[in-house]
């Protein structure tokens, strides 16, 4: 496999580019349709299986919807920042499989959490990308707030701890912290499997 070389990633790889476009188009489609009285987020977002609004397509579509522009921006910024590296490292096919498996799997696992509420956003897949980057390049530095350098392995440990604490104690903040953790869990399983089976088809 190739090594981490940030200068190689100036051009967007195809899957990251397509995911950026799809998520952005879905956001603006929701914005336009909502003004016409069609709540696309409510139709495509992930509801609890006991809700009358739950539909079979939602574990897939929820990960392309976002609640507001800042939600979209930070998820897409992370997709660009970490996804470009991972797609170049893994190849487009494995990267897309990982992204979708973690997003869908994270959503399905989140449905097992008591009190799960309407969920939208790519965060389960995005947090899985963060985990993958931290496991593949543990000693590379990222910069918190573009200022504070921290090794990715410690950054990931901190993110997991924060999400776990917020999931337990901030139940009223309407953020699906356990969906983030669920996406990371799926990602961990896949990465460990690929380490044992490096020539797996996916």
CATH of the domain at 75: 1.20.1540.10
Tell me the mean pLDDT in the region 180-191.
95
Residue 47 lies in a domain: yes
Number of domains in the chain: 1
pLDDT at residue 97 is higher than 50? yes
Spatial contact of 63 and 107, defined as CB atoms under 8 Å apart = yes
Residue 5 lies in a domain: no
Residue 64 lies in a domain: yes
Residue 2 lies in a domain: no
Spatial contact of 123 and 176, defined as CB atoms under 8 Å apart = yes
> Tokens 């380490």 identify what position?
195
Residue 201 lies in a domain: no
Tell me the mean pLDDT in the region 39-67.
95
Confidence of residue 162 (pLDDT cuts 50, 70, 90): confident
Q: Is 50 helix (H, G, I), strand (E, B) or coil?
A: coil
Spatial contact of 197 and 173, defined as CB atoms under 8 Å apart = no
Mean pLDDT, rounded, of the chain = 89
User: What residues make up the domain containing 148?
Assistant: 11-196
Tell me the mean pLDDT in the region 106-118.
87
pLDDT at residue 159 is higher than 90? no
pTM: 0.89
Residue 155 lies in a domain: yes
Spatial contact of 163 and 127, defined as CB atoms under 8 Å apart = yes
Q: Is 138 helix (H, G, I), strand (E, B) or coil?
A: coil
Q: What is the pLDDT of residue 174?
A: 62
pLDDT digits (tens, 9 = 90+) for 59-74: 999 999 999 999 999 9
Residue 21 lies in a domain: yes
Non-local CB neighbours of 48 within 8 Å, separated by 6+ positions: 54, 111, 116, 117
Residue 73 lies in a domain: yes
């Amino acid at each position: 496999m190739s090594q981490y070389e940030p200068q190689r990633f100036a051009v967007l790889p195809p899957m990251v580019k397509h995911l950026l476009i799809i998520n952005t188009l879905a956001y603006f489609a929701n914005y336009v349709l909502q003004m016409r009285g069609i709540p696309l987020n409510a139709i495509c977002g992930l509801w609890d299986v006991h809700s009358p609004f739950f539909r079979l397509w939602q574990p897939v579509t929820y990960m392309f919807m976002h609640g507001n522009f800042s939600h979209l921006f930070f998820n897409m910024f992370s997709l660009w920042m970490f996804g470009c590296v991972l797609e170049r490292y893994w190849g487009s096919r494995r990267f897309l499989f990982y992204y979708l498996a973690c997003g869908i799997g994270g959503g399905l696992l989140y449905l097992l959490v008591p009190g799960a509420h309407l969920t939208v956003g790519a965060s389960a897949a995005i947090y899985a990308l963060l985990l993958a980057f931290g496991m593949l390049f543990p000693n590379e530095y990222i910069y918190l707030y573009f200022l504070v350098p921290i090794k990715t392995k410690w950054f990931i440990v901190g993110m997991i701890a924060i999400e776990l604490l917020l999931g337990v104690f901030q139940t009223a903040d309407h953020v699906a912290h356990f969906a983030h953790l669920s996406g990371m869990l799926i990602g961990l399983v896949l990465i460990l499997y690929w380490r044992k089976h490096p020539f797996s088809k996916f």
